[in-house]
Chains A and B, each alone.
Chain A
Amino acid sequence: MDAVILQILNGLDKGSAYALIALGLTLIFGTLGVVNFAHGALFMLGAFCAVTLSKIFTISYETIDPVRKDFLGNPLKVETPYIFDWFGPDVGTAMIEWSVPLAILFSIPIMILVGLSMERGLIKYFYKRPHADQILVTFGLAIVLQEIIKYFYGANPIPTPAPPALTGSADFGVLLGFDAGSIIYPYWRLVYFVFAAVIIGGVFAFLRYTTFGMVVRAGMADRETVGLLGINIDKRFTIMFALAACVAGLAGVMYTPINSPNYHMGMDFLVLSFVVVVVGGMGSLEGAVAAGFLLGVLESFASMGEIVSLLPGINQIIIYLVAIIILLTRPRGLMGRKGVMEE
């Protein structure tokens, strides 16, 4: 039992990332009808927003400490981040340590800007082109974005730790009445899951309870009719694209402490997120979220020692296998709507 709970918990953080990316993909597909192969790159850009912010915080100037000496006996050079001068050393240290959560604020305007310029500058010209063209041009864009990041940040993963207060692990075993140490779970993963839940809840609430959201949902169901009502649906869809970009970016920001970001992390997640979207059902927001968590947890179960020894390699392919089975038995995915992307 405790092992099962542990695996479910382990699956949640990856599942959260899948769900967040798949949610954005579905939003874009549902509203704009565009298959966005560059969505993984947006996730990656978000992660590098966090990297950038922590680099900015640690920009330092050099002074020479007249009192202390280094081991060669020369005067010690001391690096002082500028923010120490501006906010005082205590606040400055805290800012550096908390740079990942702070990057949420930093990344929102950046991701919105990226989203808007992507939609206005490129995607809008592809609404009427075939899906294959959309896939191809966004695929090209994804390559360009990741190569730009590679140019500036190099090819190696950049460790970006969580704040020290959140780096430890919680012992859920004791909490739930199992043996101590049976379910050890890092705090940050818990934070990530809660964060994802809040974002997902926020997006759903936004779509359900605001007039804006209602118009968008109506537009997803029947774009033409909404257009006939005299509502400028295109403008709203542009904003939805920015929102989806933002969701992907935030998912990336918060993911950095779990896995050090590298330039190709977006592509790695994109392929799986597409599988998630298809499993959930193209165009279904609930389906995307459900399938994201489902596949994340499944993947974690498949990596249990007992299962791997029974079916070697199953952990590597479980997601694809499930996707293939679901696509063949339920062509529209778990919650797909009729008439979306058929023929």
Chain B
Amino acid sequence: MLGLNSKDKTLFLIVLALTMFAPFLLNPFPEGSELAQFNAGYPDLMQRFVIFGIFAIGFNILFGLTGYLSFGHAAFLGVGSYAGVWMLKLLTMNVVPAIIVSVIFAGLFSAVVGYISLRRSGIYFSILTLAFAQMSFALAYSVLTPITNGETGLQLALNDPRILDFDAADGSLPATNFFGIEMRDGFELALGPWLFTFNFGYYLCAIIMLIAFYISIRIFRSPFGLMLRAVKTNQQRLRFTGKNPKPHTLAAFIISGMYAGLAGGLMVAMDPLAGAERMQWTASGEVVLMTILGGAGTLIGPVLGAGVIKYFENIFSKINDNVLYNWFSFLPDGMQDAFVFMIHPFIGKGWHLTLGIMFMLVVIFLPGGVVEGGQRLRQLFSRRGGSDSAGGASSAKAHPAE
């Protein structure tokens, strides 16, 4: 089935199950309970999980496989967003053309940027991509205002032409839809005290992410993917082996740019608004963080990284001092204050501090990210369990197919 080997198929099915049942999995706490604030099963957040998942999966095709660290990928996401909003304004509120055009524009733009940036490698490549992204950001803010609407951001207006839509204007902005199914629509399911929300927009994003994930598995296992890994480990040898590394890396760059454009297109399909800050280099930095945190070069790492960062961003930002006082209410007053005082800098608006520390710890101690952490844990347990397959991955790799 699907043309995947059994291990990849398992992986794919796990991701499939996670995304399809996300409205249940992310809402484990009954409505109105103390812990309900840790629920993440509302549409807006779930959409962000999968959209940033797509962004990170694409980034990983470039960085994880070839080792080229781009600090400018947010520019492609931004271009995709703008292109998407324009389609919604000019053509139709159906999201399909918007998404397709987002991918195409981001692909074209990344072809130009990639062609030039890839003439250099190492830190020079990083700086070149950074320079391009910052340039796009600056232009989007200033000169390109007719296209980008500058600081305000590009949004829908009542008098947009939308030449393919015929619905009578009733004085309110139409909603984005997928052949009539409105993205903001959905239904709710109440099971006892639990409340689950199923949002059409989320499911569209989730299905697209699954396709994107599937394509990335195919790329990883293909001869092309093998060549990309060869680029990372020894370009010199690859050249003297008769392969030209340049078109390979450029193709990877364009593919990852198109993934970024897809993410940008989906963002505006869910919420038709595009702003220049989406292109800023901090946004590029965010996708780097996601990929590294999850595990660069692994299939599922970027998805996990995107999920972890977006989840904690949401949760940490919501916790405030009152919540903390509640948690530590079992402690004597003085200690309660002390605990709250110590934790206070890391929550709420301090979420970025937590993120920075988390990221540093990962780079220092766990360069393989969450995925490597999981492998280490599994090794630890299998050793405890007394099985003799210590050495884990490497020795396991040496045995099969004898």
Contact = CB atoms under 8 A, between A and B. Distances in A.
A-B complex is real = yes
A139 B127 CA distance: 14
A316 B356 contact: no
Interface residues of B, number: 43
Contacts of B236: 343
A313 B281 CA distance: 19
Contact of A331 (B124, B141, B285): B124
Contact of B353 (A133, A135, A144, A312): A144
B299 to A, nearest CB: 20
A144 B360 contact: yes
A142 B363 CA distance: 14
B132 A320 contact: yes
Contacts of A137: 360, 363-364
B357 interface: yes
B135 interface: yes
B356 A143 contact: yes
A275 B350 CA distance: 30
A267 B282 contact: yes
Contacts of A282: 123-124
B123 A131 contact: yes
Contacts of B131: 275, 320, 323-324
Contacts of A143: 352-353, 355-356, 359
Contacts of B122: 131, 341-343
Given A132-B67, A317-B138, A140 B123 contact: no
A274 B352 CA distance: 23
Interface in A42-78: none
B235 interface: yes
B375 interface: no
Interface residues of A, number: 39
Contacts of A271: 130, 134, 281
Given A137-B360, A274-B127, A328 B119 contact: yes
B69 interface: yes
Interface string B281-301: 110010010001000000000
A308 to B, nearest CB: 10
Contacts of A142: 356
Interface in A312-343: 312-313, 316-317, 320-321, 323-324, 327-328, 331, 341-343
A148 B357 CA distance: 11
A147 B352 contact: yes
B116 to A, nearest CB: 7
Interface in A273-313: 274-275, 278, 282, 312-313
Contacts of B235: 343
Given A271-B130, A274-B127, A320-B131, A136 B363 contact: yes
Contact of A317 (B119, B135, B282, B363): B135
Given A323-B127, A341-B124, A133 B141 contact: no
A316 B138 contact: yes
A324 B125 CA distance: 10
A86 interface: no
Centre residue among A136, A331, A342 by max chain B CB count within 10 A: A136
Interface in B354-383: 355-357, 359-360, 363-364, 367
A278 to B, nearest CB: 5
A151 B345 contact: yes
Contacts of B69: 132, 135
A311 to B, nearest CB: 9
Interface in A70-119: none
Given A324-B131, A328-B116, A342-B122, A140 B138 contact: no
B116 A324 contact: yes
Given A147-B352, A274-B127, A341-B124, A141 B360 contact: yes
A35 B138 CA distance: 25
B282 A135 contact: no
A139 to B, nearest CB: 7
Contacts of B285: 139
Nearest to A342: B122
A14 to B, nearest CB: 16
Contacts of A209: none
Nearest to B141: A316
Contact of A125 (B127, B130, B139, B364): B364
Interface in B124-149: 124, 126-128, 130-132, 134-135, 138-139, 141-144
Nearest to B296: A132
A140 B142 contact: no
Nearest to B142: A313
Interface in A233-283: 267, 271, 274-275, 278, 282
A135 B123 contact: yes
A140 B367 CA distance: 13
Nearest to A322: B131
Nearest to B138: A316
B120 interface: yes
Interface string A213-236: 000000000000000000000000
Interface in A116-160: 122, 125, 131-133, 135-137, 139-144, 147-148, 150-151
Interface string B235-268: 1100000000000000000000000000000000
Contact of B356 (A141, A320, A324, A342): A141
Interface string B325-342: 000000000000000000
A142 to B, nearest CB: 8
Contacts of B138: 313, 316-317, 320
27 contacts: A131-B122, A131-B123, A133-B367, A135-B69, A137-B363, A141-B356, A142-B356, A143-B355, A144-B353, A144-B356, A147-B350, A147-B356, A148-B345, A271-B130, A275-B130, A278-B123, A282-B123, A313-B139, A313-B143, A316-B138, A317-B135, A317-B138, A323-B128, A324-B116, A324-B131, A343-B122, A343-B236
Given A313-B144, A316-B142, A317-B135, 10 more contacts: A137-B364, A140-B360, A143-B355, A147-B350, A275-B131, A324-B131, A327-B127, A328-B119, A331-B124, A343-B122
A-B CB proximity, top 10 nearest: A313-B143, A143-B356, A316-B138, A147-B353, A140-B360, A144-B356, A320-B131, A140-B359, A320-B135, A137-B363
Interface of B: 67, 69, 116, 119-124, 126-128, 130-132, 134-135, 138-139, 141-144, 235-236, 281-282, 285, 288, 292, 345, 349-350, 352-353, 355-357, 359-360, 363-364, 367
